[in-house]
Amino acid sequence: MLNTNLYMLQRITALIMAPLVLGHIAVMIYAARGGLSAAEILSRTQGSVWWMLFYGTFVAAVSIHAAIGLRVIVFEIFKLKGAGLVLFTWATFIGLAFLGFRAVYAVTIAGGGL
Amino acid sequence: MSDDSKHLEVSVWRSDVARYESYSVPIQDSQTVLDVVSWIQQNASPDLSYRYACRVGMCGSCAMMVNGEPRWTCRTHVNKVLKNNKMEIAPLRNLPVVKDLVTDMDPFFDKWVEAKSVFQSTKTRHDEMEPILPDSPKRLAASDAIECINCAVCYAACDVVAANPDYLGPAALNRAWSLVNDVRDGGYEARMEAISGGGGCHNCHSQSSCAQYCPNELNPTASIAGLKRETAKGWLR
Amino acid sequence: MISPHRSHSLWFAFIAHRLSGLALAVFLPVHFYVLALVLTDASTLDGFLQWSKNPLVKFAEFGLVFLLGIHIFGGLRLLALEFLPWSPRQKTYAALAVAGAFILACGFLLSAVS
């Protein structure tokens, strides 16, 4: 169940992600031609501030968006309420944000193992 | 139960045995589902409880689930809903059952009040009449939503009502929208507060079963979208 | 199998949006984890990318892009429904969303196997 704040957060992150998703798919279509390798990906993304900002924003937005979306599902299907629902929402957000920023760091900042 | 070309096989929910009972009902020309239910009560089972009033599609009292879909039974021709000469009739979904085909409409009306879907007057008879232009955008929006007769068909059709006991429901929210667009009404703030809480308009997923089934061809999905826009405007201010 | 009161196209649009969102939310942590292997175990990442050349994996990726397409185009329809003046063409837009998602996914698959 939502209130105005969660609703607006959900819609705003959706709007933010619309161009990012289309960009991501375009990049994937372009990059996946002729097969994909780690070295290929990293040669493009390592040390790039723009890719970091692009995917960093994407991760932030999707962590919020998915956490709220899953919140509605567990509320309606599993009838989770109250503190449990709040905990679930935050855990989903933190989990996705942590894994996501870690991946962004790995792909754009870290030295890489290749 | 034999069903031949002259009889329908009709399953009706009976509270006393907590299951569907089968009745063989003679086929008649231009028969409606309400005719069928009335025949059963008059000829086969006098203790069958059901509601109707006008029987001409104006009052909404005869709403029931027919083969899993909420309909006005007086305006549903049997030959439009029969499946293999069979029909299943149940009380409206999402409401407590009083007996057989009669539901307790209190939760539906309680939510109407909870949504503040009640006109708040701002003028007295001593004031000037409010000039309302019939084709002003707000009046058109209000008029589009105003023909609701509280039959609860939309409420029965809605899966969010089923999933969220606090959800105010399409009818209450549709009326709230018509009042938001009524320039004479003085209850805007309280109403916006009421429709943006845990049971409010943001729970709507635009499944649109409400618009699909409304016998008056209203569109609560559109009304609720309007309410969402209003809450967004308030949030952005 | 589908309840009678749900057998209409806008309800299918709703369930497609919900299920695609759920699938993406489940996929994301896996996706983030695999990408972050660059940090700890880059050879596994390369191994994974080699494995992903398998046609079955490509087809699964096609499915994912299709689900993403459903979710974003369906989501755009919802944003328009909620924030723009009402359009009576919701069923048309819902159908276009599915078509668009399919075209997008085919575009991805064609580039990924060439």
Q: What is the mean pLDDT of residues B48-73?
A: 97
Alpha helices in chain C (DSSP H): 9-40, 42-51, 55-83, 90-113
The minimum CA-CA distance between C40 and chain A, rounded to whole Å, is 8
Q: Do residue A7 and residue B202 have CB atoms under 8 angstroms apart?
A: yes
Nearest to A3 among B198, B228, B234 (CB): B198
Q: What is the mean pLDDT of residues B223-229?
A: 97
Per DSSP, what are the bridge partners of residue B26?
A: B7
Q: What is the mean pLDDT of residues B150-178?
A: 97
Q: In this predicted model, what pLDDT tens digit does every residue of C10-35 receive, in sequence order? A: 999 999 999 999 999 999 999 999 88
Cα-to-chain-centroid distance, residue A33: 24
Banded pLDDT at B214 (limits 50, 70, 90): very high
Nearest to A2 among B163, B203, B232 (CB): B203
Q: Do residue B70 and residue C5 have CB atoms under 8 angstroms apart?
A: yes
Q: Judge if ipTM > 0.95.
A: no
Judge residue B41's burial from the number of C-beta atoms within 10 Å of its C-beta, 0-12 exposed, 13-18 middle, 19 or more buried.
middle
Q: In this predicted model, what pLDDT tens digit does every residue of B125-143 receive, in sequence order? A: 999 999 999 999 999 999 9
Listing DSSP states for A32-48 in one string gives TTT---HHHHHHHHTT-
B17-39 CB burial, b ≥16 within 10 A, e <16: eeeebebebebeeebbbbbbbbb
Q: Which residue is closest to B230 within chain A, CA to CA? A: A4
Banded pLDDT at B62 (limits 50, 70, 90): very high
Q: Which residue is closest to C50 within chain A, CA to CA? A: A37
Per DSSP, what are the bridge partners of residue B179?
A: none
Cα distance between residue C58 and residue C64, in whole Å: 10
Cα-to-chain-centroid distance, residue A92: 11
Q: What is the mean pLDDT of residues B86-109?
A: 97
Interface probe for C, chosen from B207, B217, B219, B221 (most Cβ of C below 10 Å), is: B207
pLDDT of residue A32: 76
First to last CA, chain A: 46
Q: What is the mean pLDDT of residues B163-170?
A: 96
Interface probe for C, chosen from A44, A102, A108, A109 (most Cβ of C below 10 Å), is: A102
Mean residue pLDDT of chain C comes to 91
Q: In this predicted model, what pLDDT tens digit does every residue of C96-112 receive, in sequence order? A: 999 999 999 998 888 87
Q: Choose the weakest-confidence range: B12-16, B95-99, C35-39, C88-92.
A: C35-39
B3 pLDDT more than 70: no
User: A36 vs C32, which has greater pLDDT?
Assistant: C32
Q: Assess C41–A contact: CB distance below 8 Å, yes or no.
A: yes
Banded pLDDT at C37 (limits 50, 70, 90): confident
Q: Which residues of A touch B231 (CB under 8 A)?
A: 4, 7
Encoded tokens for A92 = 């989903």
Chains touching A, CB cut-off 8 Å, 3+ pairs = B, C
Cα distance between residue C36 and residue A59, in whole Å: 13
B199 pLDDT more than 50: yes
Q: Do residue C8 and residue B206 have CB atoms under 8 angstroms apart?
A: no
- Contact B211/B224 with Cβ under 8 angstroms? no
B23 pLDDT more than 70: yes
B1 pLDDT more than 60: no
Q: Do residue A1 and residue B198 have CB atoms under 8 angstroms apart?
A: yes
Q: What is the mean pLDDT of residues B84-109?
A: 96
pLDDT of residue B182: 95
A114 pLDDT more than 60: no
Cα distance between residue A95 and residue A103, in whole Å: 12
Cα distance between residue B129 and residue B150, in whole Å: 28
Q: Which residue is closest to A38 within chain C, CA to CA? A: C46
Q: In this predicted model, what pLDDT tens digit does every residue of A67-110 receive, in sequence order? A: 999 999 999 999 999 999 999 999 999 999 999 999 999 888 87
Residue located via tokens 């429709």 = B195
C41 pLDDT more than 80: no
Q: Assess C99–A contact: CB distance below 8 Å, yes or no.
A: no
pLDDT of residue A111: 60
